[in-house]
Amino acid sequence: MTDIVKSFPWLQSSWSQLENYRIQNRIPQALLISGYKGLGKLQLAEYFANTLLCSSSQSAEASCGKCASCLLFKAGTHPDYIFIEPEEEGKAIGIAVIRQLIVKLALMPQYDAYRVVIINSADSLNNASANAFLKYLEEPTERTCVVLITEQPSRLPATIRSRCQKLNISTPDQIVFNIGLKQLGISDNKDLLYVLSQGAPLLAKQLSDTSVLKLRTDCFKNWLKLAHSEICFVDLAEQWHKLARAEAGFLLFWLISWVVDMIKLSYHKQPVQLYNQDLITDLQDLVQRLDLKNLYKYYDFLLLCQHRLDTQLNKQLMFEEILIQWSRLNSR
C-alpha cells in the first residue's frame, strides 16, 4: 500500500486512477482534480507530482524518497515543480502569474523526468489568465503535467475543462470516513464530525483540532437562550460578528442544519435521522413552539445569508437580522 493510501484511506480509488496513468505511461498533459474541501485533493496532487519527478520511480514504490529529485521536492526547491495558488483566499490568480508560467514551461526541464505544475484553487483564474492558460493547453509542452485543483469545477471555463483528464474525489461513506479518522488520530465524536464535516475527513480533523466543536455548543446555547428571551439579540449579534470568516461560515451551516432538523422533526413525531442527533431534545422542544410555514421562510432566509457571506455585506447587520427573525419566530 502506498503512503498516501495508508494515511488517507478514502483516496484509494483516486490514487489507483493516477497510478494507472503512470503504469500505462499515459500521463495527462492536464489533469483536473475536483472534490469537496477536506478530502485531500492537494495532498494527492503533491504525492502524484513527487511520483512523476522521482528519478527512480521504476521501483514498486510510488517514489523512492532518496534520489536527488525526491530530496529537492521534499525541500520545496525542485526546479521542475511549479506551484501556483491565489495569494490570498478569494483573490484571483492574475495573468502575470500565468504568463510567467508559460515562459518557464517554454524552457527545457532541468531533470530527465517529468515537469509538474499544480494550480491550486484553479477556479480563481480570472478571464484573462484563463484565456492565457487555455492558449498553453492548446499547445502544451512535452513531458509536462499540469494539475488543476478545484472545489468548484463548474467555475472553470468549459474550454479548459474539456482539455483535462478528470478525477473527482468523492466523499467516503461513514465506514471509510471512520477508518480515515483513525489514521488521522481522532477517536472521539466520530458521528458528529461526520455530519459537521459532511464526510470530509481532513475537515473533520480541523474541526476536532480547533475549538470549533465548543463554538458550536456555545452558539447553540445562545440561540436557545434567545428563543426563550433570556439574552438580547444585539449582544449576541455583536458576539457573532466578531467570529472569523471561516467560523461565520460554520455558524451559518449549523443554523441551517438546526432549522432543517426542526423541519424534519415537525413531520416525524418518531425520532428521525438528524444532522444534530446530540441536540435532539432541545430541537424537539423548539419545534413545539414554532410555526412550520414560518420555519420554512426562515430556512430560505438563512440560505440567502449563506450565499451572501462572501460579498461585501455588513456581517453584524446580517446576524442581527438572523437573530431578530429568530426571536420573532419564537414570540408568536
Q: Which residues bind Zn ion (CB under 5 A)?
A: 54, 63-64, 67, 70
Strand (E) or helix (H) holding 265? helix 245-267
CB neighbour list of residue 145: distance below 8 Å, 6 or more residues apart: 27, 28, 29, 30, 31, 49, 52, 114, 115, 116, 117
- CB nearer to Zn ion: pick between 43 and 131: 43
- CB nearer to Zn ion: pick between 118 and 186: 118
For the bound state, the minimum distance from the C-beta of residue 110 to Zn ion, rounded and expressed in Å, comes to 15
Report the alpha-carbon distance of residue 84 to residue 98 in Å, rounded: 9
The phi and psi torsions of 39 (rounded to 5 degrees) equal -100, -5
For the bound state, the minimum distance from the C-beta of residue 109 to Zn ion, rounded and expressed in Å, comes to 15
For the bound state, the minimum distance from the C-beta of residue 116 to Zn ion, rounded and expressed in Å, comes to 13
Question: Is 172 exposed, middle or buried, given 0-12, 13-18 or 19+ CB atoms closer than 10 A?
Answer: buried
For the bound state, the minimum distance from the C-beta of residue 201 to Zn ion, rounded and expressed in Å, comes to 28
Name residue 145's beta-bridge partners.
Answer: 116
For the bound state, the minimum distance from the C-beta of residue 33 to Zn ion, rounded and expressed in Å, comes to 22
- CB nearer to Zn ion: pick between 78 and 216: 78
For the bound state, the minimum distance from the C-beta of residue 67 to Zn ion, rounded and expressed in Å, comes to 3
- CB nearer to Zn ion: pick between 44 and 125: 44
Report the alpha-carbon distance of residue 224 to residue 242 in Å, rounded: 20
Rg (CA), the chain: 24
Name residue 144's beta-bridge partners.
Answer: 115
The grid coordinates of residue 62 equal 510510488
* Residue with the three cell numbers 502569474: 97
- CB nearer to Zn ion: pick between 54 and 125: 54
- CB nearer to Zn ion: pick between 21 and 133: 21
For the bound state, the minimum distance from the C-beta of residue 28 to Zn ion, rounded and expressed in Å, comes to 21
Report the alpha-carbon distance of residue 67 to residue 52 in Å, rounded: 13
- CB nearer to Zn ion: pick between 54 and 252: 54
